[in-house]
Amino acid sequence: MDQLTAHDPRRIGPFEVLGRLGAGGMGLVYLARSASGRRVAIKTVRGELAEDELFRVRFAREIAAAKTVGGFYTAAVVDADADARVPWLATAYIPAPSLEDLVEECGPLPVDATRWLIAGIAEALQSIHAAGLVHRDLKPSNVLVVEDGPKVIDFGIAAGVSSTRLTMTNVAVGTPAYMSPEQARDSRNVRGASDVFSLGSLMVFCATGHPPYRGSNPVETVFQLLREEPDFSGMPHELMDLVRACMRQSPEHRPTPAQIQAELAPHLFSRDDAAGEAGDWLPANALALIETKRRPQRPVPEPQPPHPAPHAPPYVPPQPEPDHRPRPHGGGRHAGQGEGHGPVHTPGPMTEDGIPTSKIPSPGRRPAPAGAGEVQLSGVNVRIGPGPRAEHEQTGPDSAPAETDWVRHPTQAPAPAPVPTPPPAPAARWRPWRFRMSNDVWGTPVVAGGTLFVSSFEVHALDIASGERRYKTRDVAWALAVDSGRVHAADGPHLFTVDVADGAERWRSSLDGWVYSLSAADGVLCCGVRGGGVQLRSAVTGAELWRADDAQQDYENPQAGPVLVAGAAYYHGAGRLRCVDPRGAGLRWSVAVGEDVPSHPVERGGVLYVTAGTRVYALDAATGAERWRFEAPVVMFTPPALDADTVYVADYLGTVYALDAVTGRERWRALTGSRQGAEPVVVGDGMVLVGSGEVLYAFEAAGGRERWRYTARGEIVGVPAVADGLVHLGSRDHSLHTLDLASGQLRWELGTKGELTGSPVAVGGRVFVGSKDRCVYALDAYYGTAVPVR
């Protein structure tokens, strides 16, 4: 639980506010207590929602319905006020770990434990549906686990089945990894069967430790949900029939919660020694975590800095000593981690269990002496340590760059090969840094004006030079674009713009739909709105310049949404690619390209190149006249990549085509493994790179000869970044790999504690990447986390 700030209320209705539990999609969540001492969790509503009368009507109906929800496995609604200046909803506070915490800390659950939890959640859904509600956001963090079973919480974004007409058109509310396909397409048609699909997704998480869909960002996850089969890897065969039934694509073919309970009952009541409590089903470490969370949690006061002497260095709060005991996350479901305020320096390397590695002697190695700056693992040429520290720096003329715990270097020296010339050191010594967020990081970072912009619910602006946060927005940002000194973002139905320099809000505007894609250029914003909408707006004032409603697609995602390219706006709908004047003058031209959703166009020298299905088109950018087309045998999801005179594309099965940019004639083709992503081919320094599964292939641009291939330990994530003779690529092995472009040899590797998000970004001799360990990393492109010697 976090301390209250000066801006937080001290009382909400009849309740005394004790502290912050966290933030949800609708607003802040507080821990409070009644006059009799009863503790409650109070969810408040964000200001812009509170000003929406339609929202207040819907919220009042949800409150009335939620109060009727009974049952053993739900958290009771205690009180609420939809008419308050800031509407709020109070539910019984349950000091217990969420299912997310339980599985992440204790590992996947046994089959019997999974059945016990799923049966309880199914009973909770019966109670919710009987009250005329659909939960809409059933996910691991919305299920608490106590001694006598699971408790389903958070009906704040549920909507009455009888009042779904009040739901904003095509707004998909929920968590992509656990929502149903019909919810992702159009939330107006969501019924109770949608929660059953989410229940199946929970079953996958319980039994395997991972969700059924694992995109690098929410948009990619929705793309997988609509196009691909769930990831059932590690799923016990005893549960496969039930989970497949729950996750059927057709809602009418899914079982009801009552049928799920009937299916599980024989397994739960066949044991004579089972009394139905956690001790009968959960492993010992899970029971210990539940007991830990039952202990009362109090806000921890922040350490106060001493009075500094004149010219003293800034005060840095002391770091806690690592502890391998179970660490409570704060009371209840909404507890969060502290947010970083600059470079994070951990107190030392630790194992996954939180035990300092310096306290574990390796075979054949004596423990490191006290105060040693790094630890050498037995048999592995990998340095690990606490981060960039002064004791690692060497200033002699032949000294090597200082190393940190983040980077792994090859255990053997690579064969002689041309290596890139290291970029010149900046005028002032720059240190690699990492910044830890309170919430998940997603998407690809954006670099502009010496600032790194990162999406972690809000947009965070981090100073590249120091790693300090300059500011963050006050709203969620599901879509983000930076242009001409402005940061533009959409929290769904609202657009807002802040100044790059200081985060001051310039304007905000409400749209009549959910913004799923956002593009900015030359003072214009291009918005893709769910349900086939396109809107062009002024980036300066937010005023609407032009709109259309004929951009309906089967799969609405940013990779194929409306976009601004070279002074024009382009969008696809009803089998046609349309070009629109960005200043509001209307349609310029329209060309039939088929029903297959095309990629974003790429323009070069007045020619527009676009892929659509199995075809590559070259169109005159001014008139839309077709100059040539190329027909491939297999569908292509990726946009073209260009060099001076060649167009490169890759199909679904991994074949790379090099086409003459003037005639469309095939120059060469090369084969890789099967690839299913929408990432384009990367071209740079005479090389053509394409990822396929875990392998990155490099071909000569001139003739297509394969130069090298590099195999990571997991599937490649996002688009590799090529700059200064280096290739930076992310992998689902939780690592960033940096290779020599000419030879494919590994130069260094960054290991994180989560999958990388989006794509790495290489700018000015530095590389930036986000990770699902809630950290953003900034590294020296050539040396990794080492500090270059001047």
Q: Which residues have a catalytic role annotated? A: 137
CA–CA dist 114, 282 (Å, integer): 9
**Spatial CA neighbour of 616 closest among 574, 577, 655, 648:** 648
CA–CA dist 337, 300 (Å, integer): 13
Which pair of tokens denotes residue 421? Answer: 């010339």
Residues 632, 649 contacting (CB under 8 angstroms):
yes
**Spatial CA neighbour of 170 closest among 516, 570, 479, 495:** 516
Tell me the sheet residues that pair with 619.
608, 626
CA–CA dist 639, 683 (Å, integer): 13
Which pair of tokens denotes residue 431? Answer: 């240190």
What is residue 636's three-state secondary structure? coil
CA–CA dist 599, 216 (Å, integer): 19
What is residue 718's three-state secondary structure? strand
Phi, psi of 728 (to 5 degrees): -115, 120
CA angle 547, 551, 555 (to 5 degrees): 135
What amino acid is encoded at 569 in this protein?
A
Residues 453, 459 contacting (CB under 8 angstroms):
yes
CA angle 273, 274, 278 (to 5 degrees): 135
Residues 482, 493 contacting (CB under 8 angstroms):
no
Classify strands 28-33 and 451-456 as parallel, antiparallel or unpaired: unpaired
Task: Dump strand ranges (E) for 598-732.
Answer: 602-604, 607-612, 615-620, 626-631, 641-642, 646-650, 655-660, 666-671, 682-684, 687-692, 695-700, 706-711, 716-723, 726-731
Location of structure tokens 């259309």: 548
Which pair of tokens denotes residue 409? Answer: 């270097």
CB atoms within 10 A of CB 747: 22
Length of the chain: 790
CB atoms within 10 A of CB 407: 24
Location of structure tokens 């209307």: 586
Which pair of tokens denotes residue 700? Answer: 């000569």
CA angle 730, 731, 733 (to 5 degrees): 135
CA–CA dist 254, 722 (Å, integer): 47
CA–CA dist 577, 571 (Å, integer): 6
CB atoms within 10 A of CB 689: 25
Question: What b-and-e string marks burial along 715-735, b requiring 16 or more CB atoms within 10 Å of the CB?
Answer: bbbbbbbbbbbbbbbbbbbbb
Q: How far apart are the first and last CA of the chain?
A: 45
CA–CA dist 81, 465 (Å, integer): 47
Residues 203, 143 contacting (CB under 8 angstroms):
no
Which pair of tokens denotes residue 527? Answer: 């918005």
Question: What b-and-e string marks burial along 248-262, b requiring 16 or more CB atoms within 10 Å of the CB?
Answer: beebeebbebeebbe
**Spatial CA neighbour of 485 closest among 443, 537, 539:** 539
CA–CA dist 152, 199 (Å, integer): 11
Location of structure tokens 């059924």: 212
Residues 778, 766 contacting (CB under 8 angstroms):
yes
311's CB contacts (< 8 A; 6+ apart) are none
